[in-house]
């Protein structure tokens, strides 16, 4: 393992003013997104959509540091025969790959899930590296509800995240470690904070036990937010203050960067929260976005599966990428959103 090189990639993934595009929707998820805009989820449509994103010059060259791909996409070619992964490299962004194989019910723990995909992962990583992937992603899902999460669910998911991260580093691939505490439910921000803190602490304990080099990874956590169904929603300032406090308590400064998931927040909420965190002064790690929905909802709507809408889709994507790029430096303002609209 070349840790200097892993650290160089991880640092580039969280470069100031840039963030990661999570375009790794699995077949079921992309179908849901396409259903919402009335587009059939065929291989050609998925290719056209992702090609549109990766050919968005402004977004890709100025605000996107890396792209997380799904297995299908990393082997797919653009319409003119150029591999999609080359479009990403040519834009200056780093290609990455989602390597988990989804979730399964966790035995003895009703309502809880464990992420799977460790079998043969070493072989798969080798092929992805040869294809050009320089980082990977594995997402664990922790739900908050009555009596959950159990310590069992937190432990097994942290163990799998660390196993995956160690395998990645041995294959010279930077692991994005994503323990997502879901924002479904009616819990308040303090319950989310308390659960996320437990999850992060257990995850870092496992990472250390399994000898993962913290300098060669990126953390992809949720922010501390109230559940979507909670009557008590927190202000932007409260989310920023509690999230930064939580991360400072749990994430060692050796970690080069933290890139948030959006988790169902609206586009503007996700941007405003990140921006407000940067207003809180110097932080020990790079802090940026790795959004899926909060970067793609607008371009998906603008595109709607029509070739004549490609330019509009690219404008919508570039706008969200720019807003988040500014937020990643604490330079976003609400009036910039309005001006562009």
Residue 30 near residue 41 (C-beta atoms within 8 A): yes
Binding status of residue 24 toward ligand 5MM by CB under 6 A = yes
Does residue 292 touch ligand 5MM according to CB under 6 A? yes
Q: Which residues contact 278 (CB under 8 A, 6 or more apart)?
A: 287, 327, 328, 329, 330
Out of 46, 187, 293, 322, the only residue in the binding site for ligand 5MM (CB under 6 A) is 293
* 233 is an interface residue for ligand 5MM by CB under 6 A: no
Alpha-carbon gap, residue 294 to 291, rounded angstroms? 6
- Determine which residue in the list 22, 160, 219, 274 makes contact with ligand 5MM, applying CB under 6 A: 22
Interface with ligand 5MM by CB under 6 A: which range of 109-117, 192-200, 288-296, 320-328? 288-296
Give the interface size with ligand 5MM as a residue count (CB under 6 A). 15
Considering only 11, 26, 230, 309, the residue that binds ligand 5MM (CB under 6 A) is: 26
- Contact code string over 239-278 relative to ligand 5MM, x by CB under 6 A: ----------------------xxx---------------
d(C-alpha 217, C-alpha 219), whole Å: 7
Secondary structure E strands in 185-285:
218-219, 257-260
Instruction: Report in angstroms how near the CB of residue 141 gets to ligand 5MM at its nearest.
Output: 8
> Rounded to an integer, what distance in angstroms lies between the CA atom of residue 209 and that of residue 161?
12
Q: How far is the CB of 281 from ligand 5MM (least distance, A)?
A: 25
Q: Which is nearer to ligand 5MM, 158 or 176 (CB)?
A: 176
Residue 220 among the catalytic residues: yes
3-state secondary structure of 309: helix
Does residue number 294 form part of the binding site for ligand 5MM (CB under 6 A)? yes
From the centroid of its chain, how far is CA 242?
Answer: 20
Q: Is 180 a catalytic residue?
A: no
Among residues 181 and 246, whose Cβ is nearest to ligand 5MM? 181
Does the footprint of ligand 5MM cover residue 53 (CB under 6 A)?
no
CB of 263 to ligand 5MM, least distance (A): 4
Nearest-CB residue to ligand 5MM? 292
Least distance (Å) between residue 292 CB and ligand 5MM: 3
Going by the DSSP 8-state scheme, the letter that residue 1 receives in this structure is -
Q: How far apart are CA 153 and CA 37, in angstroms?
A: 35
Q: Which residues contact 39 (CB under 8 A, 6 or more apart)?
A: 45, 49, 304, 305
From the list 18, 98, 137, 220, the catalytic residue is 220
**91 binds ligand 5MM, rule: CB under 6 A:** no
Q: What is the DSSP string of 65-128?
A: EEEEE-HHHHT-B-TTS-BHHHHHHHHTPEEEEE----EEEPTTSTT-EEE---TTHHHHHHHH
Instruction: Give CA–CA dist 136/33, Å, rounded.
Output: 23
Indicate whether 319 belongs to the interface with ligand 5MM (CB under 6 A).
Answer: no
DSSP conformation letters of 176-198:
EEEEEEP--SS--HHHHHHHHHH
Compute the distance between CA of residue 101 and CA of residue 46 in angstroms, rounded to an integer: 19
Query: Which range binds ligand 5MM by CB under 6 A, 19-27, 189-197, 308-316, 321-329?
Result: 19-27
Applying CB under 6 A, among 18, 139, 242, 278 the residue interacting with ligand 5MM is: 139
Answer for which of 291, 303, 317, 332 binds ligand 5MM (CB under 6 A) is: 291
Dihedrals φ, ψ of 269, to 5°? -60, -45
Catalytic residue list: 178, 220
Residues that bind ligand 5MM (CB under 6 A): 22, 24-26, 29, 68, 139, 180, 261-263, 291-294
């Amino acid at each position: 393992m070349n840790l200097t090189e892993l650290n160089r990639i991880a640092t580039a993934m969280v470069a100031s003013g840039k963030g990661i595009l999570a375009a790794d929707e699995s077949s079921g998820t992309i179908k849901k997104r396409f259903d919402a805009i009335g587009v059939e989820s065929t291989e050609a449509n998925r290719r056209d959509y992702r090609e549109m994103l990766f050919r968005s010059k402004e977004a890709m060259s100025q605000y996107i540091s890396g792209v997380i791909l799904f297995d299908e996409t990393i082997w797919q070619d653009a319409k003119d025969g150029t591999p999609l992964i080359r479009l990403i490299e040519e834009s200056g962004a780093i290609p990455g790959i989602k390597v988990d194989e989804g979730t399964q019910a966790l035995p003895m723990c009703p309502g809880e899930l464990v992420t799977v995909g460790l079998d043969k992962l070493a072989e798969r990583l080798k092929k992805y590296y040869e294809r050009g992937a320089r980082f990977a992603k594995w997402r664990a899902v922790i739900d908050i509800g009555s009596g959950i999460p159990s310590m069992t669910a937190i432990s097994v998911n942290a163990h799998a995240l660390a196993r995956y991260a160690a395998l990645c580093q041995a294959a010279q691939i930077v692991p994005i470690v994503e323990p997502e505490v879901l924002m479904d439910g009616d819990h308040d921000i303090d319950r989310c904070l308390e659960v996320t803190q437990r999850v992060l602490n257990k995850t870092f304990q496992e990472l250390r036990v399994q000898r993962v080099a913290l300098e060669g990874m990126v953390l992809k956590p949720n922010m501390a937010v109230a559940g979507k169904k909670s009557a008590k929603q927190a202000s932007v300032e409260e989310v920023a203050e509690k999230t930064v406090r939580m991360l400072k308590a749990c994430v060692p400064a050796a970690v080069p960067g933290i890139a948030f998931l959006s988790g169902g927040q609206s586009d503007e909420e996700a941007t405003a929260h990140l921006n407000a965190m940067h207003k809180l002064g110097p932080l020990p790690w790079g802090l940026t976005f790795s959004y899926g929905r909060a970067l793609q909802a607008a371009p998906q709507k603008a595109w709607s599966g029509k070739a004549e809408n490609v330019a509009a889709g690219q404008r919508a994507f570039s706008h969200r990428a720019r807003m988040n790029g500014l937020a990643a430096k604490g330079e976003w303002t609400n009036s910039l959103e309005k001006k562009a609209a």
